[in-house]
Amino acid sequence: MHSTDTPTLDPTLEQLLRPDVVGPRLVAATGREAWRDFSAQLIAGGKSNLTFVLTSTDGDRLILRRPPTGDLLPSAHDMGREARIQTGLAGSGVPVAHVVVNETSGDDLGVPYYVMEEVVGHVIRDELPTGYAQDDRSKEAMADALVDALVALHAVDPDEVGLGDLGRRDGYLERQLRRWLGQSEKATASVQAPRLPDLATRLGESMPQSPPSRIVHGDYRMDNCVYDADDPGRIRAILDWELSTLGDPIADLAQTAMYWGDADGPAMPLIPSLSRQAGWPPSSHLVERYCAASGADPAVLPWYRAFACFKFAAIAQGVATRAAAGDMAGQKFGDIGDSIRHLVDHAHSILDDHPGGTRG
């Protein structure tokens, strides 16, 4: 490529990615001069950390993850943590991308970031690729692959992969309730949910005893995975480890079941509703498969389902609040306040329907 063909970035991306600094670091990590200059594109769908596709001057691609701009939660957007988890899980049977650069000092961009290899396949959000998984059996295979990868993650011994100090071994649910209630209190007016504090109280009063702590993803859903382009029943990589820690594996399962949804359930703000459409198995299929493989007790799920709604309502409030402040690289997500409030109402309904039946 001639010098006149050197990629240029618009001013916003130039500031977020600093190619004059990141380019040489990529050259050092890969041994390839083509990374000294690169183009970049923000990937649609990132609701918290910012994810970019970087393209070198000879057409190769890598993925860069960095925090949003603006004020950040103290324990959120931890890029070094994300990279460390994926490095630890490599070779464990859990599909993850290879980390190329893990820059934790913040010297390059003013914040930590990491770069990983691009895993070729389909990241499926609001529609299936043309000709992909068109029959119901293939859709069920996608659901099964999603569950099986989660089972594999929860089967990993954190100490054996060097992640035994990833988080505290006890008190996960209590800490989660405090964390997300605290985030909710900072929400912009349009997405506030008056019934959310009472929901947190009800969840605290009926909290089950957690099973032994495992590595949890914290945001596990179909569009945080890369599906094999030829085999819908295979996941090539799990992405977006931002909320991963040591914690309650049933909370992970309930979050996944909530994201998956059902035709008669509440629509998720911010999350594609593809699996709520005809032809997809219900969320109960995921729960039953997980419990059969792991030995988990499905009777405790109502509390966890209500907790999942609480947690995601607070997450969605945070995303909307950061977007309103201009900290999401120009991304806008529309008016999601009613959806958040409906989700909180749904969680209350779950607890209403299972009084006293959620405590372990």
What tens digit of pLDDT does each residue of 190-201 get?
Answer: 999 999 999 999
Q: What is the pLDDT of residue 323?
A: 82
Q: What is the pLDDT of residue 8?
A: 57
What is the distance between the alpha carbons of residues 225 and 14, in angstroms, rounded to a whole number?
Answer: 28
DSSP state of 54: E
Whether 3 shows a pLDDT value over 80: the answer reads no
Q: What is the pLDDT of residue 268?
A: 86
Domain 3-117: homologous superfamily in CATH: Phosphorylase Kinase; domain 1 (3.30.200.20)
* Distances in whole angstroms, Cα of residue 79 to Cα of each of 99, 147, 175: 11, 26, 21
Contacts of residue 312, defined as CB under 8 A and 6 or more positions apart, other chains included, come to: 255, 258, 259, 268, 343
Q: What is the pLDDT of residue 4?
A: 39
Confidence of residue 22 (pLDDT cuts 50, 70, 90): very high
What tens digit of pLDDT does each residue of 100-145 get?
Answer: 999 999 999 999 999 999 999 999 999 999 999 999 999 999 999 9
Greater model confidence, 335 or 142: 142
What tens digit of pLDDT does each residue of 284-317 get?
Answer: 999 999 999 999 999 999 999 999 999 999 999 9
Q: How far is Cα of residue 130 from the mean position of the Cα atoms in its chain?
A: 25
Each domain of the chain, given as residue ranges in start order, spans 3-117, 136-353
Q: What is the mean pLDDT of residues 71-93?
A: 79
Q: What is the pLDDT of residue 174?
A: 97
| Kind plus residue range of the DSSP H or E element containing 56 | strand 50-56
What is the distance between the alpha carbons of residues 126 and 86, in angstroms, rounded to a whole number?
Answer: 26
Contacts of residue 270, defined as CB under 8 A and 6 or more positions apart, other chains included, come to: 47, 316, 319, 333, 336
Residue 311 and residue 196 in contact, taking contact as beta carbons nearer than 8 Å: no
Q: What is the mean pLDDT of residues 50-59?
A: 95
pTM: 0.87
Q: What is the pLDDT of residue 73?
A: 46
Q: What is the pLDDT of residue 328?
A: 63
Average pLDDT of every residue of the chain: 90
Q: Which fold has domain 136-353?
A: Aminoglycoside 3'-phosphotransferase; Chain: A, domain 2 (3.90.1200)
The rounded percent of the chain whose pLDDT value lies above 90 is: 77
